[in-house]
Amino acid sequence: MRQWCAGLTTLAMLVLAMGGVWARADAALLMEEPYGEFGAFNPTGHAAIYLNHICAESPTVLRPCHAGEPGAVISRYHKIDGYDWLAIPLVPYLYAVEHVEDVPKTADAPLEGEVARSVSTRSSTGAGTRR
């Protein structure tokens, strides 16, 4: 009986101690398919996880989001500087621009080429790499 009371007391203390800890995270699974002609040759697609209360401090460091930040997307990539996963803020991940205001209303082939060149230039200059 004494062990039973001690166990209940320990459980009650643990529940009370955990009552002050508040954590919240919402997640969504993003299922993606290959773009353009590549999809016809390799229709395997890609998956990533969107976390709306977790933000990317850098591609490999996560932190709680500040007010107004939309969260980050975490995705696995093979052999990128030895990392198993990388994080990127939501807007750059979805639209390849830094700010929501820069998202184009429509897209066409010339804009696609411009965005691809911009992303390639940022990658080659080291922008967006780990800090």
Domain locations in the chain as residue ranges: 25-125
Q: What is the pTM of this model?
A: 0.60
Q: What pLDDT is recorded for position 54? A: 92
What average pLDDT score do residues 83-101 get? 88
pLDDT confidence band for 129 (50 / 70 / 90):
very low
Residue 131 in this model has a pLDDT that exceeds 60: no
DSSP the chain: -HHHHHHHHHHHHHHHHHTT------EEEEEE---TTHHHH-TT-EEEEEESSEEEEETTEEEEPPTT---EEEEEEEEETTEEEEEEEHHHHHHSSSSGGGS-SS--HHHHHHHHHHHHHHHHHTTTS--
In whole numbers, what is the pLDDT of the chain averaged over residues? 77
SS3 percent helix, strand, coil of the chain, rounded to 5, is 35, 30, 35
Residue 56 in this model has a pLDDT that exceeds 90: yes
Question: What is the percent of the chain where pLDDT is above 90?
Answer: 20
DSSP state of 71: -
CB 77 within 8 A of CB 86: yes
Place of tokens 């643990």: 14
